[in-house]
Structure 1
């Protein structure tokens, strides 16, 4: 926590501009210690996201205890949601649950317009995946932003 505070101060980065992604499985070893650390991050204003949600071994009861802002739906559920009714039902349920818990929700691994349409129709406000861009080095990212968002 101290290191992140130091970096934020050195580079004049506002805490609300940072979201730390934590994989579901990484917090399961010592849940109480993980929650304590997560609370420290929240106390300094950072946003927290559970990444790859649905692939770990956590109980849904942990969602009440984790001081998070965002759930990121793992791409393994998004991949076949337009052809697999079970994946579609799981994604709908995660979106609904996240909204009920007042969490942001992000669908990972969006690669097709059909997936995007399904997610929009089910009120998923944020998506990421190759439909939009592959991961980019910093210099290519800046050019992508200039070309597509400005």
Structure 2
């Protein structure tokens, strides 16, 4: 009769990390927050496949995400939303990995707002994807850390958004 090896059991137990909340990594390599973002993206893709690419639906989804945010993130997200909708009205509001985002006519996210609370960061981010026409020589930033917004910051964001849509 064969018996189980206690070494194998001990090794297996030692390599398995307990599931945890926040940004701690599990044995699969993704945090609970990252897995949640991927699930949100899958849900968004299913909705897009059903033809749910209209501005009103995207706006409602984006507003719902902003409403879920802690106050500090909400203030930043609302300010960025106002800037983007004023300076790049051709971009369509939507959510992208559960974050407020703004897409081109093909539905590709051009820019997005990542709340500090999304992954437990000390700052929020305004990010730009490859579709954004921000090229400046051989190197340029594609994300900006934000803790508060000054009038100068708002002007910079407006300039970046206008440039992004080229």
Bigger proportion of residues as helix: 1
Q: Which TM bucket (shorter chain)? A: under 0.3
User: What's the TM-score once normalised by structure 1's chain length?
Assistant: 0.26
Larger Rg: 2
